[in-house]
Structure 1
Amino acid sequence: MRLRYIHGQYEFLQNHEKAITEPEKRGYKLNDAFNNNNPIHVELGCGKGKFLRETALKNPDINYFGFEKSVKVAYRCAKSVFENDPDNYFVVYSNGDILKEVFEPKSIDRIYLNFSDPWPKPSHYKRRLTHKSFLEVYKIVLVDDGEIHMKTDNNDLFEYSLSQFEEDNWELLMVTRDLHNSPYKQDNVMTEYEERFVQEGKKINKLIARQKYE
């Protein structure tokens, strides 16, 4: 379902205490957004924020940034902030490919890729968030033992991502093609999409990858 444009949604994000808009245009380093040295986790494509908020609630000693490139979706995420919302996250209205511009090198402990756009046409593969060009960016901003956690219902994207990680010298710490019928289901926080897919009986793929060092 296509979201309806609402007048003033960008201005709403600009003035919202939980939102950061286009930090790359202001030369702003997101490492400075919190006044602490807690680990940083980043979700690329946070949608309406269910996973972001629930994970932040469970882990108050971790700083979270949820990137969302759609102003319509980012607006709805910020609009749905509730009373007693956790204070250890921000919604970032921007593309995930600007990570190296807005984070210091070796400063992110974990990146989440939850149900990213599969870009099914081969001519669009370079837009996939596990394409080698994105993996190079992740290498710059992740700490040496930093991890990428990926979930998707799209089998083609998952197999493609596995091959990209292997070819680019990443260690696969965990791989499952049926998350909700696996031991890894414990402590799993579902996204909005994931809840719907599970109700429809779809299997969820998940992997955890870490860069190898000689």
Structure 2
Amino acid sequence: MRVKHKKWADPLIDAHPEAIVTKAEEVKGKWQDRFEKPQPIHLEVGMGKGQFIIGMAKAHPEINFIGLEIQRTVAAIALKKSLAEELPNLQLICGDGSDITNYFEPHEIDRMYLNFSDPWPKKRHAKRRLTYHTFLKGYQEILKDQGGVELKTDNMGFFEFSLQSLNNYGMHFDGVWLDLHHSDENEHNVETEYEQKFAAKGQPIYKLTAHFE
């Protein structure tokens, strides 16, 4: 969903280069330098307004987190929230997730999150889905060996496509949940904005975790 541009968004982003990167290719291979201390790096592609990535950074100070969002106003909303939390283990990127190998060196990332990605339901748009094999190739390149991917969605069609795509790519599944919120996996679950919205309507949330061999 597109968010109406806010006049304050660009000035806020420009005022905080220490917290958000707009030219991520210039930081490629040097992400650890932007954090308080070197730690495993987890990346969320499509962070939206930042609820998940901020929640994860608060819950896991032993991990460095990066949230990536293509829409500037949405990224600015996440930035505003993150600045209020003063989290030394969180960095944001305003950029395009399809260019991910331009932003990170091979094996620079330990884990990735794909939360409520655009399902692109029309068959002719399959190549745009973030679990299409060309995207998986990029994830495999930037992730460490045995690097993991976590996915959550409310869209069964996208979930089924993702299961098949990851399987065909040769990934190993660590877990599959067809109703996350009514499973043991939900005990430490950090919700996204969309997740709260859909779950409140009784919509089951689907989740998978997998890693590259």
TM-score range, shorter chain: over 0.9
Structure 2: give runs of 5+ residues left out of the alignment: none
Deviations 1:119-148 (A, max 9, x none): 111111111110000000011011112100
**Counterpart of 1:112 in structure 2: which amino acid?**
Y
CA apart distance, 1:8:
4.9
RMSD: 1.6
What is the DSSP-based 3-state SS (H/G/I as helix, E as strand, rest coil) of the residue aligned with 1:80?
helix
Aligned to 2:150: 149
CA distance in 2, matches of 1:84, 1:169: 39
What is the DSSP-based 3-state SS (H/G/I as helix, E as strand, rest coil) of the residue aligned with 2:188?
coil
CA distance in 1, matches of 2:34, 2:87: 15
CA distance in 2, matches of 1:208, 1:146: 11
**Counterpart of 1:90 in structure 2: which amino acid?**
Q
CA distance in 2, matches of 1:28, 1:132: 23
Matches within 5 A, 1:76-87: 76-81=77-82, 83-87=84-88
Aligned to 1:175: 176
CA distance in 2, matches of 1:204, 1:154: 8
CA distance in 1, matches of 2:180, 2:95: 29
Aligned to 2:137: 136
CA distance in 1, matches of 2:93, 2:149: 19
Deviations 1:161-207 (A, max 9, x none): 00001100000110011001112111000001101111000000000
Structure 1: give runs of 5+ residues left out of the alignment: none
Aligned to 1:192: 193
What is the DSSP-based 3-state SS (H/G/I as helix, E as strand, rest coil) of the residue aligned with 2:67?
strand
What is the DSSP-based 3-state SS (H/G/I as helix, E as strand, rest coil) of the residue aligned with 1:36?
coil
With normalisation by structure 1, the TM-score equals 0.92
Matches within 5 A, 1:23-38: 23-24=24-25, 26=26, 28-31=28-31, 32-34=33-35, 36-38=37-39
Aligned length: 211
List structure 1 runs of 4+ shifted beyond 6 angstroms.
none
Q: State whether residues 35 and 88 of structure 2, in contact with CA within 8 Å, keep that contact through their aligned partners in structure 1.
A: no
Aligned to 2:11: 11
CA apart distance, 1:77:
1.2
What is the DSSP-based 3-state SS (H/G/I as helix, E as strand, rest coil) of the residue aligned with 2:211?
strand
**Counterpart of 2:204 in structure 1: which amino acid?**
K
What is the DSSP-based 3-state SS (H/G/I as helix, E as strand, rest coil) of the residue aligned with 1:81?
helix
Q: State whether residues 29 and 108 of structure 2, in contact with CA within 8 Å, keep that contact through their aligned partners in structure 1.
A: no
CA apart distance, 1:100:
1.6
Aligned to 1:118: 119
Q: Percent identity?
A: 38
Q: State whether residues 107 and 142 of structure 1, in contact with CA within 8 Å, keep that contact through their aligned partners in structure 2.
A: yes
